[in-house]
Amino acid sequence: MIADAALFAARAHAGQIREDSREPYINHLAEVAAFLAALEPFDPVLVTAGWLHDVVEDTSFTLEDIRTLFGADVAELVNDVSDPPDLKGKVRRDRQVTHTMESGPRVKLLKLADKTSNVEELTGLPAARFDRKGNERYLKWARRVVAVCRGLAPELEARFDRAAERLEGEIAEAKAREKPGKHGKSKTSRRKGSPKKEKKK
């Protein structure tokens, strides 16, 4: 089942790249699945959902497709970690924190793995691709989500904390480099012309 999920994810996310690192999106899914396999090697439902956790939000495949191919337990877990499509911005972020807090261990572990992978992606980027404001906002949100997941996987939590501290330092350095222009606004601007990419969840 896990191998089939990896192949399905590669097909579903073909051509997608990560928002900041510009690596193939499948790399993120492989990392999340690897984190989960290390934590729960005898839980194929959890590891399979790690490969598939962004399918519903980011591809044309549906929850029913996942249920048909991988079973009800996997589909339910993927649904639990997927944001409702009608929620945006702060409402979506707040709902994810609350929903994760109220969910079971599988959801918490998957969210912890997802946020760890995402925060690690943001560290060490070239200055031209470092979105200081966006990364600062994402880090604050990721910490809120991870805060309600703690107590299940101390080693992965520590890995998240190390990545978060590195990113926090890089954000501080980016702030120090910014030079105010007219009216005290930063001269830095959002990058343009980047290829199609998937946003961090």
Please report how the helices 44-52 and 2-12 are oriented relative to each other, as an axis angle in degrees rounded to 10.
10
List pLDDT tens digits, range 120-130. Answer: 999 998 888 89
Provide DSSP, 65-79: HHHHHH-HHHHHHHH
Domain boundaries, the chain: 2-178
**Residues with Cβ < 8 Å from 38, sequence gap 6 or more?**
none
Contact present, 82 and 68 (Cβ < 8 Å): no
Confidence bin at 196 (pLDDT 50/70/90): very low
Contact present, 50 and 29 (Cβ < 8 Å): yes
Contact present, 178 and 132 (Cβ < 8 Å): yes
Show which residues are catalytic.
Answer: 57-58
- The fold adopted by the segment(s) 2-178 is Hypothetical protein af1432 (1.10.3210)
Mean pLDDT within 86-99 = 95
Is 193 a residue whose pLDDT tops 60?
Answer: no
pLDDT above 90 covers a percentage of the chain that reads 79
List pLDDT tens digits, range 148-168. Answer: 999 999 999 999 999 999 999
Q: Which residues pair with 186 in a beta bridge?
A: 180
pLDDT above 70 covers a percentage of the chain that reads 89
Burial of 145 from C-beta contacts in 10 A (0-12 / 13-18 / 19+): buried
List pLDDT tens digits, range 39-56. Answer: 999 999 999 999 999 999
Is 185 a residue whose pLDDT tops 80?
Answer: no
Question: Residue 74 has what pLDDT?
Answer: 99
In this structure, what are the phi and psi dihedrals at residue 198, rounded to the nearest 5 degrees?
Answer: -105, 135
